[in-house]
Structure 1
């Protein structure tokens, strides 16, 4: 099912068992911020970036190393070297995604990001493990993979936020490549560039979501109904602090940047605890200047 009707999607999704596959990845990879800088092309449709901000590449690299060390307590994490020619290549989840036995290569909107898809080392790594490559650049449309597409792996569900970085054709290509059971298409609110900034599904059993990030309020209401009562409803300030850009890499912990974790209120922390999640946090202030946060840095390996 591929639909824009939240009521139809909710009825279908409620009937699905959480047996589509593992809820959490078996490993993950990062790309180091070598030559870290802010890209003007990316900033053109990313309101979370400020080109006037000064960045410290050394500090960004130290934070990234700390991120890898922290996440490695949840699952194996490898880091590929960065490419100074790809200044915001630190967010590989937009370019690469996996399903069991398959590596997806996404079709990026901006040329500065399109260069990342050419990386022979990342593609060769998965080829050596026997993953078949699915190059979505050969398909119509644009979709920046798990930036634009939030996935409930346990149920086989996709949530595709449409905008300049994801169109219906691109979303349909990702839906098919991942073999999802159902995908809900919806318009993001004006000024939003990626779905994973406004929501996250945690191990298939909890939801973090900001209704302000959606053009139609019926959409976040339907998504929240699917995961109720384990729903953390964010306000606009918490979204701006990247509290929606979180990820569960194992069954018992959800990872936030430090800024995002500090934005959570006590009641929201209690919701996460009731869903069985401890909170992990990592200082990522320098990397967040590039308009993404912790979840954006993580490419999951299934």
Structure 2
């Protein structure tokens, strides 16, 4: 099948202040040294890769004292020009939400502030061609289920709740990704049995990833419908995606992985 790329607009934030000073997910360890300059170089390669594929790349200014701002996907969830804001679970990241709100409001987007905990596009995925336009929403570790209803009201799209059960996959975007406007790739065991049945029903042609690739942040990817930007460690998943007609584009984000994220965590999609 011929896969067609669609030009996208993305928001990224440089890891100028990136470090690991606390533990809020199973991947973080303050005893493991972080090379911030190396993280900036890897992030720059990601930014240039996305721009080189023809996509618009906007940047959010990093702020001192917020080392996780590089994970820009968590700051909001945007559909049809409406930004549903984030409210972080952990106080260490709380101030990031205001930085994202200022970005959207200053740029003229319609911003809907949240009233319950949700971590933006980290726990939401949008597929405009799936069943007339569908939002997938994760819960179990960060985002509260009440946020699913709030997002549905804010964005006017049906929301399907999916329960995450493995703490290594604490956000939806570590366990599932949209490959195009109507299909996904995911790691089944990250979800409850009932949520797995829902995914099989909604996406019978989905690409299924093994645990090895999922644990290497292979599902934390960004796809434009043809080009799939993913972690260099996931060669097996890259071959599977190529066999399905997609074009894998590997990037090395090993330094940022120390904070519990990879490609998708660094990229918020701006859907106008």
Query: Quick check: 2:241–2:247 contact (8 Å CA) kept in 1?
Result: no
Q: Which residue of 2 aligns with 1:70?
A: 49
- Distance in 2 (CA, whole Å) between partners of 1:193 and 1:220 is 16
CA 1:77–1:237: 2 relative to 1, 3 Å = same
Give 1:146 deviation, angstroms: 1.1
Q: Which residue of 2 aligns with 1:29?
A: 11
Counting matched residue pairs gives 263
Give 1:67 deviation, angstroms: 0.8
| Structure 2: gaps (5+ residues) | none
- Distance in 2 (CA, whole Å) between partners of 1:299 and 1:265 is 22
> What CA deviation, in whole Å up to 9, does each residue of 1:156-199 have, x standing for no partner?
2122221231111122112222221x222132113131111111
Q: Which residue of 2 aligns with 1:178?
A: 155
- Distance in 2 (CA, whole Å) between partners of 1:124 and 1:222 is 36
Query: Quick check: 1:101–1:130 contact (8 Å CA) kept in 2?
Result: no
Q: Which stretch of the first structure deviates more once superposed, 152-161 or 62-71?
A: 152-161
CA 1:286–1:114: 2 relative to 1, 3 Å = same
- The TM-score with structure 1 as length reference comes to 0.80
2:52 aligned counterpart, secondary structure: coil
Q: 1:104 aligns with which of 84, 102, 116?
A: 84
CA 1:265–1:93: 2 relative to 1, 3 Å = closer
Give me the CA root mean square deviation: 2.0
> What CA deviation, in whole Å up to 9, does each residue of 1:106-152 have, x standing for no partner?
11101111111122xx544433443121111xx2x211121112221
Q: Which residue of 2 aligns with 1:266?
A: 239
Q: 2:221 aligns with which of 232, 246, 254?
A: 246
Q: Which residue of 2 aligns with 1:279?
A: 248
- Distance in 2 (CA, whole Å) between partners of 1:123 and 1:33 is 19
- Distance in 2 (CA, whole Å) between partners of 1:101 and 1:235 is 35
Give 1:52 deviation, angstroms: 2.7
- Distance in 2 (CA, whole Å) between partners of 1:224 and 1:73 is 34
- Distance in 1 (CA, whole Å) between partners of 2:21 and 2:150 is 27
